[in-house]
């Protein structure tokens, strides 16, 4: 998930910088694709806030609680940035405005940097707490209850395609080991259509 978040932010940044201001088709496609990114990130953070952090808080010491407080605060700081990028993309989809594009570039770079810092902080400190305090059974229960249960089959398929797109093959193989139905769905049904859509959306970025 974190790899895919970073991948998207790199591509959005490149697309915002390189897409001509008058290319309304590309801006509309980028605005729609940003909503997918924003929705997945919101769900990911909501699952952490409702499931992972409370489970850890029940076991963590004072230093761990400080880390968890920081995670929640960082989530709150990221949301307004994501909304501001959405507003900028909608503006560019509606009109060719060089000043709006310049402002959007500042916003998307800020979003990439702030989310990058958050992901690194989470990987360094919060996930260390999870490895220390949560058993595999507890982690699986949290995943099912707070990340999987509320999603429809269509949403799960979209998430799988988004998460695995352009992931190095060795990493995808490890990730899908023991998940034969997902592996078949990805390789035979989802991979090529999603890749085609991504090429259209980010054609200026590449």
Q: What pLDDT shows up at residue 206?
A: 76
For helices 191-201 and 24-47, give the axis angle rounded to 10 degrees: 120
The CA distance from 201 to 206, in Å, is 10
Q: What pLDDT shows up at residue 61?
A: 96
The CA distance from 125 to 140, in Å, is 20
Q: What pLDDT shows up at residue 152?
A: 86
Q: Domain 2-150 belongs to what architecture?
A: Up-down Bundle (1.20)
Q: What pLDDT shows up at residue 36?
A: 96
Q: What pLDDT shows up at residue 56?
A: 97
141 and 55 Cβ atoms separated by less than 8 Å: no
Mean pLDDT per 10-residue section of the chain, whose length is 206 residues: 97 98 97 97 95 96 96 95 97 96 97 97 96 95 88 89 95 90 92 96 91
Long-range contacts of 34-38 (CB under 8 A, 24+ apart): 34/85, 34/86, 34/89, 35/86, 36/158, 36/162, 37/5, 37/8, 37/12, 38/82, 38/86
Q: What pLDDT shows up at residue 29?
A: 98
For helices 24-47 and 62-94, give the axis angle rounded to 10 degrees: 160
What's the predicted TM-score (pTM) here? Answer: 0.94
Sorted by where each begins, the domain ranges of the chain are: 2-150
């Amino acid at each position: 998930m974190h790899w895919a978040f970073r991948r998207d932010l790199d591509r959005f940044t490149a697309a915002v910088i390189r897409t001509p201001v008058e290319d309304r088709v590309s801006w509309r496609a980028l605005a729609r694709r940003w909503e997918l990114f924003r929705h997945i990130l919101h769900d990911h953070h909501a699952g952490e806030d409702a499931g992972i952090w409370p489970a850890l808080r029940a076991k963590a010491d004072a230093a761990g609680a400080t880390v968890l407080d920081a995670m929640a605060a960082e989530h709150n700081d990221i949301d307004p940035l994501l909304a501001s990028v959405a507003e900028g993309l909608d503006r560019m989809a509606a009109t060719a405005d060089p000043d709006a594009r310049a402002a959007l570039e500042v916003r998307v770079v800020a979003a990439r940097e702030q989310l990058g810092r958050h992901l690194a902080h989470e990987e360094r400190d919060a996930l260390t707490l999870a490895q220390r305090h949560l058993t595999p059974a507890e982690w699986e229960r949290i995943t099912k209850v707070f990340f999987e249960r509320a999603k429809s089959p269509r949403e799960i398929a979209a998430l799988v395609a988004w998460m695995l797109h352009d992931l190095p093959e060795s990493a995808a193989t490890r990730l899908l080991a023991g998940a034969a139905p997902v592996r078949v769905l990805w390789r035979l049904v989802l991979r090529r259509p999603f890749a085609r859509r991504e090429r259209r959306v980010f054609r200026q970025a590449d």
